[in-house]
Amino acid sequence: MKQFLVFVRKEFYHVFRDRRTLLILFGLPIMQILLFGYALTTEVKNAKIIVVDQAKDAASEQLIAKINASSYFDIEPGEDMEAAFKKGNIRCAVVFPADFENEKRIQIIADASDPNTAKTLTNYLTSIIQPPSAQPYQIIPVTRMLYNPALNGSMNFVPGVIALVLMIICTTLTSVSIVREKENGTMEILLVSPFNPTYVVLAKAVPYLVLSLVDFILIILLSVFVLDVPIRGSLLLLFAESTLFIISCLSLGLLISSVTQSQQTAMLISMMGMMLPTILFTGFIFPLENMPLPLRIISYFIPSRWYYFIVKAVMLKGLGFWAVWKQTLVLAGMTVTLLTISIKRFKIRLA
Amino acid sequence: MNEKAITCKGLTKRFGDFIAVDNISFEVNTGEIFGFLGANGAGKTTAMRMLCGLSFPSSGEATVAGYDVFTKQESIKKNIGYMSQKFSLYENLTVKENIRFYGGIYGLTNAELKEKGEGLINKLGLHSESKKLVGELPLGWKQKLAFSVAIIHQPKIVFLDEPTGGVDPVTRRQFWDLIYDAADSGITIFVTTHYMDEAEYCNRISIMVDGRIDALDTPANLKQQYKAETMDEVFYALARGAKRSAD
């Protein structure tokens, strides 16, 4: 046990003296959270539009004022929408026909080279324009946006970013730290020492588990206090699930370290190799439901997919363990499998 | 002192068709400085790795410190020290932290660590550097420190794999003073080297050619046997017959 602690202490020295490690450990999550929280959002604000008003009557002017008042749109001067579309100056145009008062029709034209934005904008516009109905009865759809009434985009991203950041940090740091020992020749010394090889693996994992949990807390704090994302469920459950996920990522890192010989390769595999599948197959940017079957099948093997579901359920929906036990089981199964394989592989290398 | 530190009988290591170590047999006496010579690629390091438990022999038998390399690896590990070709201390740990780490994983108690650590630092004259990162030390000092750390747990045998590579002659001489000190304290030294002047410092040497041991005796006897003036000539006489090219 004392040997174990000696080893863990050494690992901490390494982490705190290596600027690159510190940067990955603390720079990456902060950057990702702020980037996804602020820069990469699907909300559209202050979209530039042009209004072509051929009617110029009271009704049309009233509507234009309404559009102008919303924070989603900025009305640009000028009426030459074709040129403005071509230049990319505007996202959307609204055309009032000369006979607006009788016809009660307007045309909305959107730049659909970016279909998502186009759709969002036309939705915003139609909801603004909705005329008071003259019909004898009126159906008023009462929409409730569950769990996220303000449609805060961060709420979708934060669980995804937590999964992404933990996945990258855990795999990168573990794999790099083991491969570094191989590269420097210190691994041989460790293997010749009476220190049990399994303990080498565990002693490597423990410091990074602790640091990853610190990272997790950091991300949670940032999300709650900077991005206003609530934690509705049990913090304890969230913490436990994250620990499970972190262990599965650490095992993946161990596995990567057993097939690579240089720190650069390990870094490349764990950063690039993990980043893309995590972004693609976790479901926080691209909905998994719309993917073709083969891709959906691949996504089942990505641990972050399951973790993302759990975090969303616990954090945003405030659900308890009963709602996520299946996903937890899958994640636990993956963790055990990965850990077993990586410890086995590590031992084989010694022989 | 009659007990053999290392015995090998028909020890062989194959990698596919390639026979890295071909049926070698030798014995190393306790307290002896045993030189293990050979050109690059002759199989020195592979043979040494088998004895240290880093690699399983394909066939043959061997014991280290009286323990069988096939079945008693754990016991062997407790009784040997190892210093590899690559510099093997942690560069971003200080001198003291390295000593504490390596002593620690060999299970030394805090009191022992303190005593041995201070003794070691005094002996190497590293007092003013003890809190410096090892990466900042000159190579010669690093090597001396690495050796001292490799024997901090007073092993029965220490394996040194080309310990003086890239070190200047003066430092090499000092390094060998440390080796003699260790041998005097009863540690058996098993050392591979390229430097023929170092071969002269050994009690007995073996010369490996193409995975076999072609010569094994005291330096004086070998020179006589090959009618040579220096160990260099003995080595060339043997190495000329090698079929494997050096890497």
DSSP A23: I
Residues in chain B within 8 Å Cβ distance of A19: none
pLDDT of residue A349: 55
pLDDT of residue B40: 81
Q: CA nearest A203 in B: which residue? A: B105
Nearest chain B CA: its distance from A283 CA (Å): 41
| Nearest CB neighbour to B88, from listed A18, A185, A194 | A185
The share of chain A scoring above pLDDT 90, in percent, equals 20
Do A7 and B104 count as a contact with CB atoms less than 8 A apart? yes
Q: CA nearest B88 in A: which residue? A: A186
Does A68 score more than 90 pLDDT? Answer: no
Do A186 and B90 count as a contact with CB atoms less than 8 A apart? yes
Taken in order A269, A271, A272, A278, the sign of the CA dihedral is positive
B125-141 pLDDT per residue, tens: 888 888 999 989 888 88
Based on the number of CB atoms within 10 Å of its own CB, is B217 exposed (0-12), middle (13-18) or buried (19 or more)? middle
pLDDT of residue B99: 92
Do B105 and A351 count as a contact with CB atoms less than 8 A apart? no
pLDDT of residue B202: 93
pLDDT of residue B28: 94
SS3 A27: helix
The span from the CA of A247 to the CA of A233, in Å, is 22
The CB-side HSE value for B205 (13 A sphere, CA atoms) comes to 27
The share of chain B scoring above pLDDT 90, in percent, equals 43
- Tokens 């940017």, residue located: A285
| C-alpha to C-alpha distances, B4 to A311, B28, B77, nearest whole angstrom | 63, 6, 17
Do B77 and A194 count as a contact with CB atoms less than 8 A apart? yes
- Residue B81 has φ and ψ, to the nearest 5°, of -120, 160
Note whether B130 and B121 are within 8 A (CB): yes
Q: ipTM, 2 decimals?
A: 0.85
SS3 B230: coil
Does B198 score more than 70 pLDDT? Answer: yes
Do A189 and B54 count as a contact with CB atoms less than 8 A apart? no
Q: CA torsion, points B12, B17, B20, B21, in degrees to nearest 10?
A: 20
Q: Looking at residues A243-250, what average pLDDT do you find?
A: 94
pLDDT of residue A351: 46
The span from the CA of B212 to the CA of A5, in Å, is 43
Q: CA nearest A196 in B: which residue? A: B74
- Tokens 């006589």, residue located: B224
- Tokens 């780490």, residue located: B101
pLDDT of residue A201: 83
Strand partners, B241: none
pLDDT of residue A117: 81
| Nearest CB neighbour to B86, from listed A10, A184, A194 | A184
Does B117 score more than 80 pLDDT? Answer: yes
Nearest CA among A125, A131, A157 for reference residue A228 = A157
pLDDT of residue B168: 86
Do A184 and B78 count as a contact with CB atoms less than 8 A apart? no
pTM here is 0.79
Residues in chain B within 8 Å Cβ distance of A263: none
Q: Looking at residues B47-52, what average pLDDT do you find?
A: 90
If pLDDT is split at 50, 70 and 90, which confidence band does A79 have?
A: confident
pLDDT of residue B231: 86
The span from the CA of A132 to the CA of B192, in Å, is 94
Does A174 score more than 80 pLDDT? Answer: yes
Does A280 score more than 90 pLDDT? Answer: no
Residues in chain B within 8 Å Cβ distance of A185: 84-88
pLDDT of residue A327: 93
Q: What is the CA radius of gyration of chain B?
A: 18
pLDDT of residue A217: 93
